[in-house]
Amino acid sequence: MTKIFSSLLLCISLIINAQNNQFYDDSYQTIDNMLNDKQQYSFKEAVFSVENAYYQGKLDVESLNYKVGFLADFCKRLVSNRKLNYTEKDQAKVSKYAAVYTVMCQTTPVIVKNDTVKYKPFTYDFEDVFGHKELANLFVSKLLDTQKGNCNSMPYLYKILAEEIGADANLALAPNHVYIKHNIKSIGWFNTELTSGIFPIDAWLSASGFIHLDAIKNGVFMKALNNKESLALLLVDLANAYNRSFPDNDGSFPLKCAERAIQIHPYLANALLLQAETHTKQFQKLMKEQNTKDIQATLSNPKAKELFDLMNKEYAHIHKIGYRSMPEEMYLDWLVSLKTERSKYEDTRLQK
């Protein structure tokens, strides 16, 4: 009787895990279809598919789409009702950028039933910046629900809103950080930093001390990601969510996400790190199975030796292309410096 009961519990557990995994498989398929041009590209849909997988299908996507639609309509009204002091041929595009920036970063007077009220923008949330306590603190859904976000959710929402009103927006990466890059006729490329609401010059990014010249040359950092490269970044998010949901997984799904992302962007450090760290976990699991903490003893196992050599090769490659990790406390200090030293790092070309 006990054996039957145990077998029944095992079967139930396997069924539940299969159902849980299905949400992640569905999200992966959605993103992969977009990458293969089998499904219409939508950064918004891809983002919400990742978050819905983490919430196991319980994300209220309809409500989130309504909120995005409201903000997009607000952007469109700003484009229609104000004229920028900008006369280049790409004026219409720049007006859209300015509208999204206003909605994201500026307090704006709005007339509601003949009364003027102040629309309050999104603000930076310094609580659990890296999602250590709760991964959902990095989500766009959390940003839309609370008006508070971080360097992950805020640029993601900016890109979503830009695309909703027919504009493009390029994500860009720095150590522990995501921001926006735009290219306009008057000045070329410039940076939009949502966490502080200003337009920093590239020198601010390199001032962190953790952006190696090789990382810039290889597109590890400061590269304007195209739409497919942005989807590759979401595959890493999907794998990280999966690891949080199933911490004892065998690594096959995270590796599938990492390998697909690397196919799209060979120098995407987040994906390369995910790959190396997953192989490291697999090696550590083999050590545990052999009940030893002696690496040399574990290497007598051919599979372990193969994993060990592979992960060392991967970490060496990550270092070679210029990636350097940035301590979290230093990152927060660096982020705050943008406001405390604003005059030093703000792009004055945008003030003309």
Within its chain, how far is the Cα of 187 from the centroid? 27
What is residue 114's predicted lDDT score, i.e. its pLDDT? 56
Residues 176-186, mean pLDDT to the nearest whole number: 95
User: Which letter does DSSP use for residue 224 in this model?
Assistant: -
Q: Does any domain span residue 39?
A: yes
Q: Which two tokens stand for residue 226?
A: 């195209």
pLDDT tens, 21-55? Answer: 899 999 999 999 999 999 999 999 999 999 999 99
Of 177, 179, 160, the C-alpha closest to 225 is: 179
94 vs 250: CA distance, rounded Å: 47
Q: Does any domain span residue 125?
A: yes
Q: Does any domain span residue 67?
A: yes
Instruction: Count the helix, strand and coil residues of the chain and give each as a percent rounded to the nearest 5.
Output: 60, 10, 30
By CB atoms closer than 10 A (0-12, 13-18, 19+), residue 212 is middle
Residues 74-94, mean pLDDT to the nearest whole number: 93
Q: Which pTM does this prediction carry? A: 0.92
Q: Does any domain span residue 347?
A: no
Report residue 112's pLDDT band, with 50, 70 and 90 as the boundaries: low
Number of helices followed by number of strands (H, E) in the chain: 15, 7
Q: Pairing relation of β-strands 123-124 and 177-184?
A: unpaired
Round to the nearest angstrom and report the end-to-end CA distance of the chain.
81
By CB atoms closer than 10 A (0-12, 13-18, 19+), residue 326 is middle
Q: Does any domain span residue 261?
A: no
Q: Which two tokens stand for residue 162?
A: 């830009």
Report residue 90's pLDDT band, with 50, 70 and 90 as the boundaries: very high
E strands present in the chain: 108-112, 115-119, 123-124, 148-149, 170-174, 177-184, 188-192
Task: Give the number of domains in the chain.
Answer: 1
Of 273, 262, 277, 278, the C-alpha closest to 326 is: 273
Q: Is the pLDDT of residue 16 over 80?
A: no
Q: Pairing relation of β-strands 170-174 and 177-184?
A: antiparallel
Residues in the chain: 352
Give the lowest-confidence range in 279-283, 328-332, 335-339: 335-339
Report residue 13's pLDDT band, with 50, 70 and 90 as the boundaries: very low
Q: Is the pLDDT of residue 350 over 80?
A: no
Q: Does any domain span residue 57?
A: yes
| Cβ–Cβ < 8 Å for 304, 298 | yes
Is 327 strand, coil or helix?
Answer: coil
Of 22, 238, 59, the C-alpha closest to 135 is: 238
What is residue 12's predicted lDDT score, i.e. its pLDDT? 44
| Cβ–Cβ < 8 Å for 158, 103 | no
Residues 5-31, mean pLDDT to the nearest whole number: 68
What is residue 315's predicted lDDT score, i.e. its pLDDT? 97
Of 20, 55, 8, 35, the C-alpha closest to 232 is: 35
Q: Is the pLDDT of residue 11 over 60?
A: no
Concatenate the DSSP letters of all residues of 180-220 into one string. Answer: EEEEETTTEEEEEBTTTTB-B-HHHHHTTS---HHHHHTTS
Tell me the average pLDDT of the chain. 90
Report residue 115's pLDDT band, with 50, 70 and 90 as the boundaries: low
Share above pLDDT 90 across residues of the chain, in percent, rounded to a whole number: 70
Of 2, 46, 39, the C-alpha closest to 261 is: 46
pLDDT tens, 321-331? Answer: 999 989 988 88
Q: Is the pLDDT of residue 339 over 90?
A: no
Q: Does any domain span residue 158?
A: yes
Of 292, 270, 226, 314, the C-alpha closest to 41 is: 226
Which are the contacts of 325, defined by CB distance < 8 A and separation ≥ 6?
175, 210
Q: 136 lies in which domain range?
A: 32-168
Q: Does any domain span residue 323?
A: no
pLDDT tens, 155-170? Answer: 999 999 999 999 999 9
Residues 239-267, mean pLDDT to the nearest whole number: 97
Which helix (H) or strand (E) is 345 found in, with range?
Answer: helix 342-345
